[in-house]
Amino acid sequence: MSKLSMKPTQGTSETHPTPRDIFREIASDFLKGTLSAASSATSPPSGIAHKLSLPHFPQYNEIVESAVRSIKVLLLKTGNIEFETFKEGLLELRNTPLRYGSLSIVFGRPMQSRLPAHNLSLAEDWHERLNEHDRHIAKQHEYARNHFDTTANQLNPILTGSKVWIQDPTSKI
């Protein structure tokens, strides 16, 4: 039985879990189910794509590494997670996602913070403008790909027994 399923009628403060305890319990239950489902080949987890990253090439997992770097910089600048500056910085990080941040999903638009922002960035139609921008960028990428593919050559396959150079992942030599 979970420690969070205790009856709150007992009245002591130790029977009432904190939000952090609830989050840890949910996360640990989710991870147990995910890991056990991922290990069985017959039942893959729904909605979860398990992708291994390379230990000597952190750029392979670029989005997660970028988020970790952002939080580390925020912690270095503010010093402690209990300070108000850390909480304001975390609000800014949640307000500036790569796509749809947590605040944008909950409220349908980015939230106003202490930093000055243009009115268009807080408008309701920001989804349409973002999608239009994505279509424009995709068209530019398609044009560049077609342009570069006209002069590209197919590489010859490496034959078995050929001598090759392999870069050391730590020294980069």
Six-digit token string for 38 = 């991922």
d(CA 173, CA 60): 19
Mean local confidence (pLDDT), 121-139? 83
Say which DSSP state 11 is in.
-
Q: What is the pLDDT of residue 77?
A: 85
Answer whether residue 106 shows pLDDT above 50.
yes
pLDDT in tens, 13-32: 455 666 666 656 655 555 55
Answer whether residue 100 shows pLDDT above 80.
no
- Every domain of the chain and the residues it spans: 1-7+14-50, 57-117
Say which DSSP state 160 is in.
T
Cα dihedral 102/108/110/112 (nearest 10): -110
pLDDT in tens, 139-164: 999 999 999 989 888 888 999 999 99
d(CA 63, CA 77): 21
Cβ(54)–Cβ(60) below 8 Å = yes
pLDDT in tens, 36-59: 444 454 444 556 566 665 666 666
